[in-house]
Amino acid sequence: MSTLQLYNTYTRHTEAFVPLHNNRVGLYVCGPTVYGPPHMGHVRGPVVFDVLRRYLEFLGYKVRHVRNITDVGHLVGDGDEGEDKLGKQARLEQVEPMEVAQTYTVAYNEMCRMMNVLAPGIEPRASGHIIEQIEMIEAIISAGLAYVVNGSVYFDVLAYAKTNEYGKLSGRILEDLVAGAGNEARELEGQDEKRNPNDFALWKKASPDHIMQWNSPWGKGYPGWHIECSAMSRKYLGDVFDIHGGGMDLLFPHHESEIAQSTACTGHSPARFWVHHNMITINGQKMAKSLNNGIMADELFSGNHPLLAKAYSPMTIRFFILQAHYRGTLDFSNEALQAAEKGLQRLMNASAQVPKLPISDSTEYNVSDIQAACERSMNDDLNTPQVIAQLFEAARVCNSAADGKLKLDRSAVEALNNLFQTWLHGILGIQTEEKGNDDALNGVMQMLLTMRADAKASKNYTLSDEIRNKLTELGFSIKDGKDGSSWSL
């Protein structure tokens, strides 16, 4: 079997993946800034890295998956200016910042659960690792790569760039950065404290009215956005680990700054592989508040948005995401989502049908060819669209066998069953929808209650009582009201 090849953004090459510590893999993924409900921009990352994790586990690795929660330090402008995103939301909602963090952490994790994303092994919060961040900032100052101004600490990009490559990950050249930073940036709050406009905050002095602030060697303040990931990945995965993941929008400044901070402390980049998924567009356009195309995850699942023709189930969304390669853009449209829904249904029907297939004495199809093609596709930089194409081939084989046009023996049927279990349900993580079960149960219960009402109306009390008693026995409670009967379990 070939080995897993992953595209490494850091080297811009597809490289064979071999973990640092024989069968163990350290995987760090940048998680959400929890200041609002999860939206469409949040659905892709968790699914992409969930499939990477599931595949690594399939290959026999023990994965330590760390996904952080940003609950402090991420400012409204994504740079070093403006209000803290959580602090602002707390002010608007008139609650504590930690209530904002808790509410939206729960909402994010619920969205992930609905899409069958396995929970990370460790989910560290930035606000819970202030000491580790301060220690790291002190180390960067000791290395001569950060300076203190007025209670704030800034990373000295020019000093760092004398002996290190700054901009390698994102492909930005420092001269361009300096020229592009322009004078208007300097006029913004705090910019005049910086020696160079490209320097970024490691620690910011807090004004007395700033809600979240901690004591530090430099006075009361709060950490910059980037230092949390350097400090937390190092704490849980060590000075160097296998894979660092995130969205392409995090390449600069977030991941570039992470590399600089970690290199300042340890002498090298924290991760060997940097894996980035591409962004989502809606009807060919970027998501933006001004375009009014920002769709929340729960609106996607309920269909309650003007741009949506109907509700799309979490499994449809998961399948839709995996039908595209993670490094390509993914365009949401009603047509594409409905096509994904149909395709998924075809695979689910085939998967359910396999155990009922007729068994022949001989076989006319070699299922292991499909299995081998699935592995080749995943090893080719997680080519999930190709895996799905193989599963459609398996569905075709299944349908032909069901129609008696193709003979499969017992071991071929078992291999086909194994293929759907391993690849569709296991590695791609597609499950039977819970909601589908709810709908079916609802339908059956309505049917029984209608039958009971009809029995009563025709004075067949023996039947109506029997239905009621049997349902009660099964744990249902039936309430008769003016508008008919209702049930609960």
**Interface with Zn ion by CB under 5 A: which residues?**
30, 229
Cβ proximity to Zn ion, 130 vs 317, nearer residue: 130
Q: Please, what is the minimum distance in Å from the beta carbon of residue 183 to Zn ion?
A: 29
Q: Please, what is the minimum distance in Å from the beta carbon of residue 285 to Zn ion?
A: 26
Cβ proximity to Zn ion, 232 vs 282, nearer residue: 232
Cβ proximity to Zn ion, 250 vs 415, nearer residue: 250
What size, in residues, is the chain? 489
Cβ proximity to Zn ion, 30 vs 134, nearer residue: 30
Contacts of 35 (CB under 8 A, 6+ apart): 74, 85, 86, 88, 89, 100, 104
Q: Please, what is the minimum distance in Å from the beta carbon of residue 190 to Zn ion?
A: 21
What are the tokens at 397? Answer: 């084989």
Q: Please, what is the minimum distance in Å from the beta carbon of residue 228 to Zn ion?
A: 7
Q: Please, what is the minimum distance in Å from the beta carbon of residue 116 to Zn ion?
A: 24
Cβ proximity to Zn ion, 30 vs 48, nearer residue: 30
Q: Please, what is the minimum distance in Å from the beta carbon of residue 229 to Zn ion?
A: 3
Q: Please, what is the minimum distance in Å from the beta carbon of residue 112 to Zn ion?
A: 17
Cβ proximity to Zn ion, 229 vs 282, nearer residue: 229
Cβ proximity to Zn ion, 258 vs 299, nearer residue: 258
Q: Please, what is the minimum distance in Å from the beta carbon of residue 30 to Zn ion?
A: 3
Q: Please, what is the minimum distance in Å from the beta carbon of residue 345 to Zn ion?
A: 37
Cβ proximity to Zn ion, 229 vs 297, nearer residue: 229
Instruction: Report the alpha-carbon distance of residue 136 to residue 280 in Å, rounded.
Output: 34
Cβ proximity to Zn ion, 63 vs 229, nearer residue: 229
Q: Please, what is the minimum distance in Å from the beta carbon of residue 269 to Zn ion?
A: 14
Cβ proximity to Zn ion, 66 vs 111, nearer residue: 66
3-state secondary structure the chain: CCCCEEEECCCCEEEECCCCECCEEEEEECCCECCCCCEHHHCHHHHHHHHHHHHHHHCCCEEEEEECEECCCCECCCCCCCCEHHHHHHHHHCCCHHHHHHHHHHHHHHHHHHCCCCCCCECCEHHHHHHHHHHHHHHHHHCCCEEEECCEEEECHHHHHCCCCCCCCCCCCHHHHHHHHHHHHHCCCCHHHCCCCCCEEEEEECCCCCCCCECCCCCCEEECCCHHHHHHHHHHHCCCEEEEEEEHHHHHHHHHHHHHHHHHHHCCCCEEEEEEECCEEECCEECCHHHCCCCEHHHHHHCCCCCCCCCCCHHHHHHHHHCCCCCCCEEECHHHHHHHHHHHHHHHHHHHHHHHCCCCCCCCCCHHHHHHHHHHHHHECCCHHHHHHHHHHHHHHHHHHHCCCCCCCHHHHHHHHHHHHHHHHHHCCCCCCHHHHHHHHHHHHHHHHHHHHHHHHCCCHHHHHHHHHHHHHCCCEEEEECCEEEEEC
